[in-house]
Structure 1
Amino acid sequence: MLRPLGVQIVRGHSDDPAIQPFLSARKTLAASRRAGMSVEEYIDHYSAAPGATMETVDALLRLADFSEKVERVCEIGAGSGRYAARVIISTYPDSYEIYETAGDWLPRLRALPNVVLQPADGHTLSATPAGSVDLVHAHKVFVYLPLVVTIGCLDEMARVVRPGGVVAFDVVNEDCLDDEMTENWVASGATLYSMISRSWLLKRLAQRGLSLLGSHFVPLSGGRTELLVFRRA
């Protein structure tokens, strides 16, 4: 009925209300152009943390200490592609798989080198075979998701990484909280962030063959997250 009007209805990437886009592509791209900044620079400044994207990727690669060529990478929730672009230019992978539920960012992600956009349901990495990637990572994703969704994604990351490969992501845990961060959140009524127990998380991932290589604190609006980097046995 709508096709004569030039409108077609298509199925979205995820209809789960727990999996919602965070930043509008159209508004973010327009704002970055008005500010005369790259998208990476604009989002970093928007989050009151200039340079945070580069710092995060540098910390990840330093802790991962890849001794061989990185052939296959997988990222969950790449969004604007700011982390993807940094990782690609630093590692030159043959294939860079992306799972992204926000359809408005997909044209930008598709333009990155060697990117493969996988069907994203917000819960699984179903198109990626077990033990197939050298690096699977996520940034500023799990801090916004319900705990059960995060746990499922972490299990999937452990599944798809190859032996000797690296899993990296950031979360808000008890080591991130201090009096200033807590007071900021209370004063601002911040209800969008999710927390996870660090000790419980390390134990669960150890049971899945992941050992912690190290960590790095990453700025978050009003506080910080902890980037955790693991290697698969």
Structure 2
Amino acid sequence: MNRVLRPAGVQLVRGYSSDPAVGAFLPARKTIAAAQKAGVSVGDYLDAFSAEPGSTAGTVAAMLRLGQLDGSVDRVCEIGAGSGRYMTRVMDALQPGAYEVYETAPDWVRYLRQIRPQVIIRPANGHSLDATTSESVDLVHAHKVFVYLPFVVSFGYLAEMARVVRPGGVVAFDVITEDCLNDVVTKTWLDEPSRANIYQLTPRAWVVEFLARRGLELAGSEFVPLSDGRTELLVFRTR
């Protein structure tokens, strides 16, 4: 099938999960090759491709600031690490003793192992963090993940994030909330529905209340760039 699709620049990638709601987004080989051709890092290439230059660094900096995170972090868990553009920056900034990754795309898993052999690759079913012990991580985070997932899948991940974070730890993720929408964004989506229909909206107030019932308080938020719009980074701390 890939031989047939190659002239069109398309590659099929098998994920770890068989759930039709969970699939590979950007193929690793094609993305890495495009970054190399452009003479930039994979992270910088994806910033320019899906957001704006410097957005990854800005997102990580905002997460660390809002979560009041420093070098004392021992264990980190990331959902949907993909290209590792957030992972590498968090690892460099916090120097954690262990970094767990849940990623459903095997091609990106291989790449993650190449760039950071010390990462702990967890079995990923696209729904849960089953391999991570309850109250065991200082930071659990996800970026540009829940933006694309059906709400029921994101909802399940939020419950899992609340489960695995330790007392005093941080939960961080970005979603498209009602506050992300304005006339410019909605006009773009209406003009190009074939592009905008990949995005999923998440009710902000509901998320804040849902996590509050699980002992998490909103520490702060910040808007971060997304192609055709923006997402809202929400950072929570356990009581």
TM-score if structure 2 supplies the norm length? 0.91
Counting aligned pairs with the same residue, the percent is 60
1:66 Cα offset (Å) = 2.5
State the alpha-carbon separation in 1 of the partners of residues 37 and 188 from structure 2. 29
- How big is the shift at 1:183? 0.6
Instruction: Count the aligned residue pairs.
Output: 223
Whether 2:107 is the aligned partner of 1:104: answer: yes
Q: Kindly report the root-mean-square deviation, in angstroms, between the aligned alpha carbons of the 2 structures.
A: 1.2
**Partner residue, 1:217:** 223
Q: Which residue of 1 aligns with 2:37?
A: 34
Unmatched tracts of structure 1, length 5 or more: 1-10
Closer/same/farther in 2, CA of residues 58 and 113 from structure 1, 3 Å limit: farther
The unaligned stretches of length 5 or more in structure 2 are: 1-13
The DSSP-based 3-state class of the residue aligned with 2:59 is helix
How far 1:114 sits from its partner (Å)?
A: 2.9
CA distance in 2, matches of 1:77, 1:67: 23
1:156 and 1:194 map into 2 onto residues whose CA distance is 19
Q: CA deviation at 1:12?
A: 5.0
Query: How many angstroms apart in 2 are the aligned matches of 1:143 and 1:120?
Result: 18
Q: Scaled by the length of structure 1, what TM-score is found?
A: 0.93
One-letter identity of the residue aligned with 2:235? V
Which residue identity is paired with 2:85?
Answer: R
Partner Cα separation in structure 2 for residue 211 and residue 174 of structure 1: 20
Matched, 1:184 2:188: yes
2:140 is matched by which residue type in structure 1? Answer: V
Q: What whole-Å deviation, never above 9, does each CA across 1:122-160 have from its counterpart, x for those lacking one?
A: 000000000000000000000000010000000000000
Q: Is the 8 A contact 1:97 1:115 kept in 2?
A: yes
Q: State the distance in 1 between where 2:37 and 2:163 align.
A: 42
Query: 1:69 and 2:72 equivalent?
Result: yes
- Specify the SS of the correspondent of 1:195: coil
Distance 1:187 1:25 in 2: 30
Look up the SS of the partner of 1:34 in the other structure.
Answer: helix
Q: Aligned to 1:148, what secondary structure does the other structure show?
A: helix
**Runs of 4+ in structure 1 displaced over 3 angstroms?**
none
Quick check: 1:78–1:99 contact (8 Å CA) kept in 2?
Answer: yes
